[in-house]
Amino acid sequence: MRLVLTGPPGAGKGTQAQALAAMWRIPQIASGDLLRAVVREDSELGREAAGYMGRGQLVPDEFVLKLIADRFRKKDAQGGFILDGFPRNLAQAEALAKRLEHAGLKLEKVVAITLPDEKIVKRISGRRTCRKCSAMYHILFEPPAKPGVCDKCGGELYQREDDAEGTVRERINVYDAMTRPLLDYYGRLGILAQVDGIGRPEEVEKRILAALSGVAKPK
């Protein structure tokens, strides 16, 4: 299955992509995680990317497209993938379509998770992320068993720099200006499903599975 999960920051893309990837046994490809891995390497490019991310702006397409192209070449991505956070603007969507078309492939579905702005800020300000495995928690809604420690791998939980409130507002603006137009784009292609992101992760997951039921079944 080749699937895109889109939606505003904090809508739950990462959480849902992780669950669906496990269900279908295909990789979750999260552009934000790929970028954060480069930033950790502390290279010139990494420092540049970190600047955009810290301001809540999009990292230039050329850089993101290169990271995605490298990731697509890996063996585990050959049987399908769940894209999380990519594409984020029309140029990226068009580059993705072209790449898939070249390989004789296409996207089966684009699931857009919707969430009102006030919920976005509430969710993101409590979000904690594992430095080691990128698993996500929420200090109120989804706390780890031991504060500050990842249940899955024992890694350290931290608050992403771009999860500070001012930056979240900018990320919402960027989403509205750059990413939201993709809903029309994929709507016209007839592969868009919009899913309400309010509620517990399991509830949202059920809605997504219902939206995907005509497309694919988990392995």
Residues of this chain that interact with ligand ADP (CB under 6 A) are 9-10, 13, 31-32, 35, 52-53, 56-59, 64, 85-86, 88, 92, 162, 171
Least separation in angstroms between residue 169's CB and ligand ADP is: 12
CA 39 – CA 53 distance, rounded (Å): 10
Cα–Cα distance, 172 to 123 (Å, whole number): 13
CB of 84 or CB of 205, closer to ligand ADP: 84
Question: What secondary structure does DSSP assign to 34-58, as a single string?
Answer: HHHHHHHHT-HHHHHHHHHHHHTPP
Closest CA to 46 of 35, 54, 57: 35
CA distance 54 to 119: 21
CB-wise, 64 or 192, nearer to ligand ADP? 64
Q: Which residue is nearest to ligand ADP (CB)?
A: 32
We find the least distance from the C-beta atom of residue 92 to ligand ADP, in angstroms, to be 6
Work out how close the CB of 52 gets to ligand ADP at its nearest, in angstroms, rounded to a whole number.
5
| Rounded Cα gap, residues 174 and 79, in angstroms | 32
Closest approach of ligand ADP to the CB of residue 161, in Å: 10
Catalytic residues: 13, 88, 127, 160, 171
Residue 63 or 216: the one with the smaller Cβ distance to ligand ADP is 63
